[in-house]
Structure 1
Amino acid sequence: MRAKRPNVALRLEGSFPDLAIDQLAEGLLDICILYLPRPHPGIVYETLAVDQVVLVQHAAQARPWTENYILMDWGLEFRIEHDRAFAGMVKPAISAGLVFIGLQHVLSQQAAAYLPLSAVSGHIERGEMRRIDNAPVFQRPIYLAYPSNPVSSDVLDVALTGLRSLARDWTSEQGFSEGDRSLGMAGLR
């Protein structure tokens, strides 16, 4: 984006999906990348990529992962899948809604959590974390959200083209097929 439009200021920010969508609707943001979209009039959603959400544990945690587990809030569908996969598991005392918070908790508290492989692969490679053997892997779509009537459509088009290109490159590196990216978003426009 900076190479194509050097006169455009960029601001990168992490936030909760509902807050980000509200800011997008109010014109405070131009684009959001999020896991959990909320339908909103005037906002277009498209699937950008699909991420694997894997169960990881801090490498120094010697106890079973269930003893220091943080439950990530990946939405209702994840909670149902998680409860089905771990029927009878005592609900964790700690939960988080942002990947950054969950990741920091795992690292600082020698804990375990379901986190995106894209966020933890470097930690796994460096031996700071390990994946839990035989744990289910969940697929989570990553969505791109933007206004249906942007203030500056030419700038938005440049940004969207760049993000889609990055997502295609990332998707091919992760071993996903093009079909894995194209999940339907019916009813979210």
Structure 2
Amino acid sequence: MDIELARTFLEIMRAGSFISAAKRLHVTQTTITARIRNLEDQLNSRLFTRGRSGAQLTAEGERFSEYATQMVRLWESAQAELPLPPGHSDVLLVGADTALWDPLLLRWTQWLRSTLPDMALKIETHNAKTLIDEVEHGRIDVAITYHPNYFPGVVVEQIMEEKLILIRNKRIDGPYIHINWGQSFKRQHEAALPGWARSGLSMDFGPMALKYIVENGGSSYLRSRAAASLIEQGVLERVNGAPEFTYPVFSMHRSNPSLQPLDQIFSGLRNIATEIKE
């Protein structure tokens, strides 16, 4: 069976209609309809019922969704892992939140290269939504993120905890910049500092906010590690008495990966996270 038929089936299931799936896949609705008709003929089953509210899975469609997910996941894993680079017996596909590349991802990569030299590494950085999607579809083996998602077949483990502290430019006054650090921070922030989130300047990328404050003044909640060197240099200062917030880091991976040295891989990650905290 053409793997594209399974992908189309899953996209309709997620989007809720043939029209929405066609837009997401950048094809015509006629193409989507033809693919599903072909798939239903091959399976001798009706997979969707269509109505004004969209496309709903039939009982047979519900059953096929499990197989379609596995098929697409296996195919995408094979595409990502093959062919193996010369001189390597396995490959580890790692994705991480962009903000975690230094020092956590960098040190872990160095450790993996020295400890498991026969394992090829493919390292990517993404936002949390993309990382979750990559793990779900088997395109990466391990994700390191601040914002995991919990779903069947995936193991989520907290590996370290960062702190968000209120800092300000020591020399230049400026406004409070609200950074979107996720839903958990949003709830804690609103409870501790009502109304502060309604700032005239908001961002969703900490490094940009940090650079803006250094050059233009102002204050914001930033990761303590990211601001540490600038505090030491006297460019920034921590606002005394301001509440601080926790910002945990998690790993995500499938519960049945094919990688053999999985315990060793995660042991190294935990040890590096502990060293960074210290």
- TM-score category by the smaller chain? 0.7 to 0.9
Q: Is the 8 A contact 1:4 1:158 kept in 2?
A: no
1:58 positional shift:
2.7
Alignment of 1:78-93 (within 5 A): 78-89=185-196, 91-93=198-200
1:162 positional shift:
0.8
Secondary structure (helix, strand or coil) at the match of 2:270 reads helix
1:48 positional shift:
0.6
Which residue, out of 162, 168, 173, partners 2:274?
Answer: 168
> What TM-score do the two structures reach when normalised by structure 1?
0.76
Spell out, residue by residue over 1:28-57, the C-alpha distance to the aligned partner (whole angstroms, 9 max, x if none). 222222112122332211111111110112
Q: Distance in 1 between matches of 2:197 and 2:269?
A: 40
Q: Distance in 2 between matches of 1:16 and 1:104?
A: 20
**Match of residue 142 from structure 1:** 249
Secondary structure (helix, strand or coil) at the match of 2:115 reads coil
> What TM-score do the two structures reach when normalised by structure 2?
0.54
**Number of residue pairs the alignment of both structures matches:** 167
Which residue, out of 158, 162, 166, partners 2:264?
Answer: 158
**Match of residue 169 from structure 2:** 58
Q: Distance in 1 between matches of 2:253 and 2:197?
A: 39
Name the structure, 1 or 2, with higher relative contact order (CA <8 Å, separation 6+): 1
Which residue, out of 25, 30, 54, partners 2:136?
Answer: 25
**Match of residue 49 from structure 1:** 160
Q: Distance in 2 between matches of 1:108 and 1:150?
A: 46
Q: Distance in 2 between matches of 1:153 and 1:101?
A: 39
Q: Is the 8 A contact 1:32 1:146 kept in 2?
A: yes
1:90 positional shift:
6.4
Secondary structure (helix, strand or coil) at the match of 1:146 reads strand
Q: What RMSD over aligned residues (CA atoms) do the two structures have, in Å?
A: 2.2
Larger radius of gyration: 2
Q: Distance in 1 between matches of 2:152 and 2:160?
A: 23
| CA distance 1:80–1:90, change in 2 (3 Å) | closer
Q: Which runs of 5+ in 1 are unaligned?
A: 174-189
Q: Distance in 2 between matches of 1:8 and 1:106?
A: 42
Secondary structure (helix, strand or coil) at the match of 1:9 reads strand
1:91 positional shift:
0.8
Q: Distance in 2 between matches of 1:31 and 1:164?
A: 13
Structure 1 ranges of 4+ moved more than 4 A: none
Structure number with higher helix proportion: 2
Question: Residue 112 in 1 paired to residue 219 in 2?
Answer: yes
| CA distance 1:90–1:47, change in 2 (3 Å) | closer
Q: Is the 8 A contact 1:36 1:74 kept in 2?
A: no
Question: Residue 130 in 1 paired to residue 130 in 2?
Answer: no
1:143 positional shift:
0.9
Instruction: Look up the equivalent residue of 2:271 and give its one-letter code.
Output: S
| CA distance 1:60–1:24, change in 2 (3 Å) | farther
Instruction: Look up the equivalent residue of 1:167 and give its one-letter code.
Output: A
Question: Residue 36 in 1 paired to residue 143 in 2?
Answer: no
